[in-house]
């Protein structure tokens, strides 16, 4: 059974999953190639489904900390 880490991107602070067997991972948000050993590991799990669940919770916590709902709302309005 392999570990799945919840990592934080050094460049954009985005959260994503990576297998412990991987040495590098490209950030899905900013495209930066990251060395997993140098990334901040927020959590880990032996179960990939549990890991994605933890990731989801961490993301919602991170979102509420950003406090930018108004800006998001405005940019959506402009597109439509």
Q: Shortest gap between Cβ of 1 and Zn ion (angstroms)?
A: 28
Least Cα distance to 6 among 67, 49, 65, 51 occurs for: 51
Q: Shortest gap between Cβ of 32 and Zn ion (angstroms)?
A: 5
- Indicate whether 66 belongs to the interface with Zn ion (CB under 5 A): no
- Indicate whether 27 belongs to the interface with Zn ion (CB under 5 A): yes
- Indicate whether 29 belongs to the interface with Zn ion (CB under 5 A): yes
- Indicate whether 63 belongs to the interface with Zn ion (CB under 5 A): no
Residue keyed to tokens 């991987």? 22
CA–CA separation, 76 and 71 (whole Å): 9
CB 27 within 8 A of CB 17: no
Residue 67: CA count within 13 A, CB half-sphere: 1
CB nearer to Zn ion: pick between 29 and 68: 29
Residues lying near Zn ion in the complex (CB under 5 A) are found at 9, 11-12, 14, 27, 29-30, 32
């Amino acid at each position: 059974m392999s570990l799945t880490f919840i990592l934080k991107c050094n460049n954009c602070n985005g959260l994503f999953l990576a297998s412990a067997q991987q040495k590098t991972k490209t950030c899905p948000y900013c495209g930066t190639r990251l060395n997993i050993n140098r990334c901040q590991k927020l959590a880990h799990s032996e179960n990939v489904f549990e890991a994605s669940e933890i990731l989801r919770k961490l993301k919602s916590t991170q979102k509420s900390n950003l406090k930018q709902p108004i800006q998001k709302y405005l940019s959506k309005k402009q597109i439509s």
